Chains A and B, each alone.
Chain A
Amino acid sequence: MEALDSLFHGFGVLLTFHNMVLMLIGICLGILVGVLPGLGGPNGVAILLPLTFTMDPTSAIVLLSCIYWGALFGGAITSILFNIPGEAWSVATTFDGYPMAQKGEAAEALTAAFTASFVGSIVAVMLITFLAPWIASFALRFGPPEFFAVYMLTFCSFVGLGKEARHKIVISLTIGFLLAAVGMDTVSGELRMTFGSVELLRGFDFLVAVIGLFGISEILLAMEEHLAFKGQEAKIRFTVVWRTWMTLPRYWMTLLRSSAIGCWLGVTPGGAIAASFMGYNLAKRFSRDGASFGKGKIEGVLAPETAAHAAGTSALLPMLALGIPGSGTAAVLLGGLMVWGLQPGPLLFVEQKDFVWGLIASMYLGNIAGLIIVLATVPLFASVLRVPFATIAPMIIVSCAVGAFAVQNAMFDIWLMLGFGIVGYVFKKIGIPLAPMTLALVLGDKAEDAFRQSMIGLDGGLGIFWSNKLVGTISTLALIMLFWPLIGKAIDMIRGSGRSAPGAASSGSSRP
């Protein structure tokens, strides 16, 4: 096969001592920036970009992409240990990862998260290896109506899941949407809800909100109850890794589903964040034991991590093949490509074989090396829970502040983070779920833009969402998802069984 030949050529390019060393350095740096809230992914890559200017493009992309893999792995660590997402896409990992850590299963949760990341990435890389041209042309079929339908599908797979009172879910969703709308409106070119303030011009950044809502509020809650994080000290042995692995084949369906969701959303820039939420929600919806999600179920860690990493990896494909970045990090890498004198686009695969296949080969090797490195550090990270609360808490607050600041270099964002911390604390205590807000905040303005772009022109009207097979299928799927609880009940009634609809129980919130 031609792809295999090219791939082996890529391995040949990669397997020099120099490149292998760069790879290891990249992964370790990546894990480091991934662990610090707010500093991972795009920021980490952007910070390290200047180091690569004097390197040849292949070495440079190996270093940077390995930082990316490292950050992808590292984001899960603080989510599980402290309920503080190190990366935006690991918000969904906190839902079950943190409860697992509280039960003393931190090592199992970390192992599951890392392995799931690995599976997701590898599936996405294989997709890139063998189907790159086909996928690139598939992505081209996405116009505004298709994008809107995808966002709808993400929302609809979410609504109706929580057990919280309906009005509280609505409150959470609408706040998220409203926050997302602050700033410049793309379609009309007008400023909305900025009230003449310069600080509000940039709108609300997702990461700042997440760091406050989850990170700061968790420290306040921990303080209120025990003056400690609730993570149990776990006895950590390497056998944990092996034992956890033994249980994984049982969840092949979850892994497969999440990989597929992730690849799809990564290629059609829905992004890793949307993918992680959708992966989690669908796993919960289709699980035989959906009610126990949110209480520390390993499936709830596997599903979002697999999806996020499949998306994060496949997001590189549109960047390389079309020149449009599928994620923030991909956008920074795109800038890097230009600096090294490469022109991303359809011809990159033809003209820069060494570079492209070197990169793809580094995705395989980088992920394998990354998995080994992070697994080896599981005991180290899990032992962080043994550090006294009074020592670790201020350090977490400081790194939250650094993260919030670094997102947009704005002092105001640190204050904003504190504000979101209070909101998160109060909302968690009065039972307003935070997950719908974060989802709406990240996808809200994209969905609105896509909807309004669809409405422009002579064919603009609601019919456009069923105007061809592709968009019609996605829209219909979205509606099925929306009414799934009803459909599930109907199916149960037909079967005559007494059990309740699978989706109608349990909460998406991290607090039991």
Chain B
Amino acid sequence: MLEKLVSKRAALVAACLSGFTVSSAMAAWEPTKPIEIIVPAGAGGASDQMARMMQAAIQNNKLSPTPIVVTLKGGANGGEGLMDMQASAGDPYKMVISNSAIYTLPLANKLPFDWRKLTPVSILAFDNFVLWVNANAPYNTAQELVEAMKKEPAGAFKLGGTGSKREDHILAAAVERISGVKFSYIPYKSGGEAATQLVGDHIKVNVNNPSENVAVWRAGQVKALCVFDNEPMDYPAKVAGDKSWKDIPTCKSQGIDFQWIMLRGVFLPAGVTPDQVAFYQDMLGKLVETKEFKEYLEKQALKPSDLKGAEMVKFLEQDEALYKDLMTQSGFVAN
């Protein structure tokens, strides 16, 4: 799906065509009171970090005339924050940073939420998933891991991830189907927890995002086997010893033909005016050009994105269909 990522200019054109006027001059609407960034996740997690970074970058570069306030609403895996956004129709002072919870929560928990009831603004980045094992593990490639697993009884390998019936769990189930192996999936509260549990050898494998494991990777405590994407990550700088993000092979090349990326996108509530949307698109467009944001992307090994307007809606629809398909196959959809 990433080949479909369009260039910046094309996205602008698409946004214009879709009816959102993005003017290069100052947008007609301006905020007059603080803007709230709703984080549908707990303190210290990837979404929270992103919100804090945005808060810092927007304030340091004076991209908004009013202050930015970060509000954590992480109850029910973010369901609380999403429902709050859905109930705030017409309020242009709230934006939410969301991930794939916008699909998984309605499917797995029958949460009465639909991202179509929000106003998509833009997708700022995509997060990759990497297959990680403990540094002392005897296998160095995904093939070796799969072979080692096939020698043991099914379920002997514990795979830890964030939550249950969410992206990590769906990914683990997909790997199981493709490789014909079986993990014991252990749900933790956060990716950070899954990282330390891997270092402590309480689990054998995790599928954390790069940012969740980068610290322990650099310390030589874990090994990266492969990345679940069509192409290696585009960060050639050495990060862990002599390894860079770019050196991690794709899982496809290792015999696990599966792509899985997660959006990190911004939404406004429903019923906001095109002027207001234009302000936010303009502000976020300047945000992604700041030094802070670029450093942040590299540090977290995120994939840049400039999807917005109609392109973003199209992406969300395809992505949702993919989630629905995979979750149905794994039996995660509530009936």
- A–B: direct contact at CB < 8 Å: yes
Pick the contact of B52: A143, A322, A335, A458 (CB < 8 A): A335
Complex contacts, B156 vs chain A, CB 8 Å: 457-458
Asked if A189 and B108 make an inter-chain contact with CB atoms under 8 angstroms apart, the answer reads: yes
Q: Which of A183, A189, A190 contacts B166 (CB 8 A)?
A: A189
Residues of B within 8 A of A343 (CB): 214-215, 218, 299
Which residue of B48, B186, B332 contacts A453 across the interface (Cβ within 8 Å)?
A: B186
Residues on the A chain within 8 Å of B111, using CB: 191
Residue on B with the closest CB to A449?
B189
Q: Which of these, B55, B184, B197, contacts A50 with CB under 8 Å?
A: B55
With contacts A331-B43, A345-B216, A409-B71 known, is A201 near B83, CB below 8 A? yes
Complex CA–CA separation, A348 to B163 (angstroms): 28
Which of B43, B44, B79, B221 is close to A201, meaning CB atoms less than 8 Å apart?
Answer: B79
Is the Cβ of A189 less than 8 Å from the Cβ of B169?
Answer: yes
Number of A-B contacts (CB under 8 A): 158
Contact B76 A53 (CB under 8 A): no
Most central of A139, A140, A344 by chain B CB within 10 Å: A140
Cα distance A330–B188 when bound, in Å? 19
**Cβ–Cβ contact A325 & B43, under 8 A:** yes
Q: Residue A380 at the B interface, CB < 8 A?
A: no
Q: What residues of B have a CB within 8 angstroms of the CB of A346 in the complex?
A: 215-216, 218-219, 221
**Residue from the list B59, B60, B75, B169 in contact with A183, Cβ < 8 A:** B75
Count residues of A near B (Cβ-Cβ below 8 Å): 53
Chain A stretch 108-157: residues in CB contact (< 8 A) with chain B = 139-144
**CB-based contact B77/A184 at 8 Å:** yes
Q: Is B308 an interface residue (CB 8 A)?
A: no
Q: Is A408 close to B, CB under 8 A?
A: yes
Is A336 within 8 A of B52, CB to CB?
yes
Query: Chain B, interface size: which category?
Result: 35 or more
| Residues of chain B contacted by A53 (CB below 8 angstroms) | 55-56, 59-60
Q: Beta-carbon contacts of A83-96 to B below 8 Å, as 1s and 0s?
A: 00000000000000
Specify which chain A residues have a CB less than 8 angstroms from the CB of B184 in the assembled complex.
456-458
How close is A242's CB to chain B, nearest CB, in angstroms?
Answer: 41
How far apart are the CA atoms of A176 and B189 in the complex, in Å? 20
Given the complex of chains A and B, what is the CA–CA distance between A290 and B15 in angstroms?
72
Q: Is A4 an interface residue (CB 8 A)?
A: no
A selection of 27 A-B contacts at a CB cut-off of 8 Å is A50-B59, A50-B67, A54-B60, A184-B109, A185-B164, A186-B163, A186-B164, A189-B163, A189-B187, A191-B111, A198-B80, A198-B87, A201-B76, A202-B75, A203-B75, A322-B216, A323-B196, A324-B195, A325-B43, A332-B44, A335-B52, A347-B215, A408-B72, A408-B75, A456-B185, A457-B155, A458-B156
Chain B residues in contact with chain A, CB under 8 A?
Answer: 42-44, 48-49, 52-53, 55-56, 59-60, 67-68, 70-77, 79-80, 83, 87, 108-109, 111, 153, 155-156, 158, 163-166, 169, 184-190, 192-193, 195-197, 199-200, 202, 214-216, 218-219, 221, 295, 299, 332
